[in-house]
Copies of this chain bind each other. A is one copy, B any other.
Amino acid sequence: MKKGQATRQRIVAAAAPLFNQHGFEGCSMQDVMQATGLEKGGLYRHFANKEELAAEAFRYSLAQSVKLRTDDLDEIEGAVAKLRHLVDRFVAAPSAIPGGCPLLNTAIDADDGNKKLRRLVRGGIRSWKNRLALLVEEGRQSGEIRADVDAKRVANTLVAMLEGSLMISRIEASRDALEDAGVTLQVLIDGLRSG
């Protein structure tokens, strides 16, 4: 890796938890300078503006979180067991980056304003749902999951419930809502089995 690229990646890795914890408005280029020890010129050599850096930071945070939840998924046999594993992982650790789930944080943050971030969040949710729907579909094809199961609806349910319960857990400052969602979803996933 070239030195420029390495510096760029170091900036993104340092900025990711800052944006994830404090939001787009709550994190300044000054904060990123402090976290990286770089001067203003050093930062702007790599990123045209804060929006570009925030977008990269979001992509990085999301990729790390997806990796944390999915990196040993291939070792698990069967669609139902894989879905259960994904729910367990989310409940145990919604994020690989300090500050919680980057999708939820950025969704909240970009809700009214930042269009680029909003688009990235929408893409992140879409890929997550697609991955889940594909797993359900594979289970249907193999006969493990009932033929009458609507893969898209299951995917929507999992994502809505995990993100919704995470939001409530955060407001309540308690893991209760998230853990209850985990239990409910495991029952729901078990109910997908055929026979």
Contact = CB atoms under 8 A, between A and B. Distances in A.
A177 B156 contact: yes
Name, among A122, A126, A163, A183, the residue most crowded by chain B CB atoms within 10 Å (CB to CB). A163
A157 B172 contact: no
A155 to B, nearest CB: 9
B118 A171 contact: yes
Nearest to A185: B157
Number of copies: 2
B153 A180 contact: yes
Nearest to A110: B171
Interface in A177-195: 177, 180-181, 183-184, 188
Contact of A107 (B152, B156, B160, B167): B167
Contacts of A165: 156, 160, 164
Interface in A42-82: none
A177 to B, nearest CB: 5
B112 A26 contact: yes
Contacts of A163: 164, 167-168
Contacts of A183: 153
Contacts of A181: 156-157, 160
A131 interface: no
A125 interface: yes
Contact of A153 (B26, B161, B171, B184): B184
A79 to B, nearest CB: 18
